[in-house]
Amino acid sequence: MHGGFHYQRATSANLDASQIRYKMNPIPDALPLISSVMSTVHPLRNVSVSQLRTACSSCSLHELCLPAGLEADEMEQLDRIVNRKRPVKRGEYLYRAGGALQSLYAVRTGFLKSCVLHDDGREQVAGFHMMGELLGMDAIGSGKHMCDAVALEDSDVCEIPFIELEQLSRDIPALQRHFHRMMSREIARDYGVMLLLGSMRAEERLAAFLLNLSQRFAARGYSATRFNLRMTREEIGSYLGLKLETISRAFSRFQTEGLITVQNKSIELKDPERLRALIGQGA
Amino acid sequence: MHGGFHYQRATSANLDASQIRYKMNPIPDALPLISSVMSTVHPLRNVSVSQLRTACSSCSLHELCLPAGLEADEMEQLDRIVNRKRPVKRGEYLYRAGGALQSLYAVRTGFLKSCVLHDDGREQVAGFHMMGELLGMDAIGSGKHMCDAVALEDSDVCEIPFIELEQLSRDIPALQRHFHRMMSREIARDYGVMLLLGSMRAEERLAAFLLNLSQRFAARGYSATRFNLRMTREEIGSYLGLKLETISRAFSRFQTEGLITVQNKSIELKDPERLRALIGQGA
DNA sequence: TTGCCTGTTTGATCCAGATCAACAGACATA
DNA sequence: TATGTCTGTTGATCTGGATCAAACAGGCAA
């Protein structure tokens, strides 16, 4: 893959050309640049072109991310407090459990996981995070992070100093509103995970997981039916409260039943409808 | 127990007198009425005494609840938007999944549960809520409640219209701050539940559950070692991702091992330390 | 007092998923 | 190109908790 966009690097061999193009379209890194060069400075904003490149307003994620619903001038104010493009290499920690809360982080590119730790070494994956999603909200209550955040592939995040975000959200109702929405959606997601962990059987859990990924990729303009997993079977298992062997077997069974095609990390949903029907057969 | 305060009714026999007094003091139900007749209006506030009686500033929960950390005048502003004392009878719904978000609710007295529902009828208890805790935050993201909230015993809640809370929290930084803390703590709690559901065995889960209740009762000035369950074995099981028979057996085993005394809903923790040690033996 | 009705306890059996084990690819480094 | 280290697959066996079943206790209405 060329340019700064190596999101699909590891698995490009598995994908046909049309899909690669499709996946690269929605989040163009280079295109905005070009158009911004043509018109020197954005009429509404007093920032240089180089800043504009990564500004929220030119970021293809802004409808999903924190600035959703902001006016241009409001977005500019938010831009001023955001430290854009902090890279996190695969395997690196964005923050660790126990560390003091400084900032929230919005994923620009890449993929991360949050892990809750238990004294005895057990760890539980509490979530996987993709572009436009906000991390670190668990730390606001105590001032300390409750979990580790680790990059599953080379990623870029926007760093949003929390104190300043809180300050700014008093001045910008739309920002306040959307920040509350994002916290609340995290709570709603957590409730869904509890339902999954507390009352679904293994195959239902995996089906729900795949459909959730599918829906999130689709919301970002990617294919809903073909995507690559960024996490290992063990990490999926941890998230779903199952062992890696169980994940592997369930994948195999889904494949022999024609529900999906799996090859290593590459997934194709062949029959999303039947997958959906699979959830809710139990009990 | 007399008056409207029967929170401890079923278990008062277990408590010594000093504790009962303590428990009854903070939330006087009947007395306020009388004194309001006597002293018409509070000097600092332009509200009648009858309103003051149940005002946040006179509520024993205010250090745990939403107004934590507010100045007197700020608390007064909050008071003005809060609709105090909405009673919810045992078994009644405070709100239902799918219903539009109007208000958040702070528990004044009593005990409630939240249940996430699945199409096929399965339900998962997502949380139990006691005095000072805030319900409904899952609904902010979508504008619709994600779960049912049901009273497990006759309860009173304060109704806090969400739009007005959001508005007011722009004017009162301490309120904004604390509201964010409460949402964040819910997220942190959820992560803990995921850890529990995803990687603990049955007895660890129950021990963690008992210790969590103990700690929450203690934070409210109740005994940390003697309390009454407000929920059935089935509800505990649902919350912990286990069947009611498993809960019952685990209780029995804890009892024969001298960790606790159980009799129906009444619990005494005989050896909290060993209970704590029990968590984290597995894996 | 009787007779539900709901919730709880305890025993016997079963099974979904864990555990143990062997092996096969994929990928990274030299 | 060889080599070692992760990661994933599949089989055989085991087991914690589910399921099925029976009996019982407490609350409450008639």
Give the other-Cβ count within 10 Å of B72's Cβ: 9
The pLDDT assigned to A42 comes to 36
Distance of alpha carbon A125 from alpha carbon A241, whole angstroms:
9
Q: Across residues A94-108, what is the average pLDDT?
A: 97
- What is the DSSP code string of B205-270? HHHHHHHHHHHHHHHTTS-SSEEE--S-HHHHHHHHTS-HHHHHHHHHHHHHTTSEEEETTEEEES
- Read off φ and ψ for residue B121, nearest 5 degrees: 100, -20
Is it the case that residue A194 has pLDDT exceeding 70? yes
Top pLDDT among B107 and A28 is at: B107
Pair of tokens at residue A62 = 């802004």
- Separation between the CA of B90 and the C1’ of C4 (whole angstroms): 21
Nearest-5° angle of CA A30, CA A35, CA A41? 115
Is it the case that residue B282 has pLDDT exceeding 60? no
Give the other-Cβ count within 10 Å of A258's Cβ: 10
Is it the case that residue A36 has pLDDT exceeding 90? no
Q: How sure is the predictor about A33, in pLDDT bands with cuts at 50, 70 and 90?
A: very low
Query: Which nt is closest to the CA of B235, judged by C1'?
Result: C7
Q: For residue B184, which residues of chain A lie inside 8 Å, CB to CB?
A: 137-142, 183
Give the model confidence (pLDDT) of A127-155 as tens digits.
Answer: 999 999 999 999 999 999 999 999 999 99
The pLDDT assigned to A206 comes to 98
Across the interface, do A177 and B166 touch by the CB < 8 Å criterion? yes
The pLDDT assigned to B50 comes to 46
Across the interface, do B120 and A240 touch by the CB < 8 Å criterion? no
Nearest to A141 among B169, B181, B198 (CB): B181
Q: Across residues A89-93, what is the average pLDDT?
A: 95
- Separation between the CA of B203 and the C1’ of D14 (whole angstroms): 20
HSE-CB at B227 with a 13 A cutoff on CA atoms is: 22
- Ranking A14-18, A66-70, B62-66, B140-144 by mean pLDDT, the lowest is A14-18
Nearest to B138 among A188, A197, A241 (CB): A188
Residue A132 CB-density burial (10 A; 0-12 exposed, 13-18 middle, 19+ buried) = buried
Residue B140 near residue B103, CB atoms below 8 Å: no
The pLDDT assigned to B13 comes to 30
- The rounded mean pLDDT for chain B is 84
- Ranking A55-69, A146-160, A182-196, B247-261 by mean pLDDT, the lowest is A55-69
Q: Which parts of chain A are beta strand (E)?
A: 83-88, 93-95, 103-117, 123-129, 134-135, 147-161, 226-228, 260-263, 266-269
Q: Across residues B100-110, what is the average pLDDT?
A: 97
- Separation between the CA of B245 and the C1’ of C6 (whole angstroms): 15
Q: For residue B237, which residues of chain A lie inside 8 Å, CB to CB?
A: none
Is it the case that residue B248 has pLDDT exceeding 90? yes
Q: How sure is the predictor about B85, in pLDDT bands with cuts at 50, 70 and 90?
A: confident
The pLDDT assigned to A95 comes to 97
Q: Across residues B111-136, what is the average pLDDT?
A: 95
Distance of alpha carbon B220 from alpha carbon B110, whole angstroms:
13
The pLDDT assigned to B263 comes to 95
Q: Across residues A79-99, what is the average pLDDT?
A: 94
Distance of alpha carbon A143 from alpha carbon A136, whole angstroms:
10
**Separation in Å, CA B266 to CA A283, B15, B17:** 31, 11, 18
Smallest CA–C1' distance to D18, residue: B243
Q: How sure is the predictor about B73, in pLDDT bands with cuts at 50, 70 and 90?
A: very high
Residue B80 near residue B62, CB atoms below 8 Å: no
Is it the case that residue B255 has pLDDT exceeding 80? yes
- Positions of strand C less than 7 angstroms from a protein CB: 7-12, 16-21, 26-27
Is it the case that residue B43 has pLDDT exceeding 70? no
Is it the case that residue B48 has pLDDT exceeding 90? no
The pLDDT assigned to B84 comes to 81
Residue B268 CB-density burial (10 A; 0-12 exposed, 13-18 middle, 19+ buried) = middle
Question: What amino acid is encoded at B101 in this protein?
Answer: L
Is it the case that residue B70 has pLDDT exceeding 80? yes
Percent above pLDDT 90 for chain B: 75
Across the interface, do A199 and B122 touch by the CB < 8 Å criterion? yes
Percent above pLDDT 70 for chain A: 80
Is it the case that residue B42 has pLDDT exceeding 70? no
Sheet with A260-263, strands from edge to edge, namely A226-228, A266-269, A260-263
| Best to test chain A binding among B180, B182, B236, B238 (most A CBs inside 10 Å) | B180
Nearest to B199 among A118, A177, A198 (CB): A118
- Separation between the CA of A267 and the C1’ of C26 (whole angstroms): 17
Q: Look up the pTM and report it.
A: 0.84
Q: For residue A66, which residues of chain B lie inside 8 Å, CB to CB?
A: none
The pLDDT assigned to B176 comes to 98
Give the model confidence (pLDDT) of A227-280 as tens digits.
Answer: 999 999 999 999 999 999 999 999 999 999 999 999 999 999 999 999 999 997
Q: How far away is chain A from the Cα of B160, in angstroms, using its nearest Cα?
A: 16
Is it the case that residue A211 has pLDDT exceeding 90? yes
The pLDDT assigned to A2 comes to 33
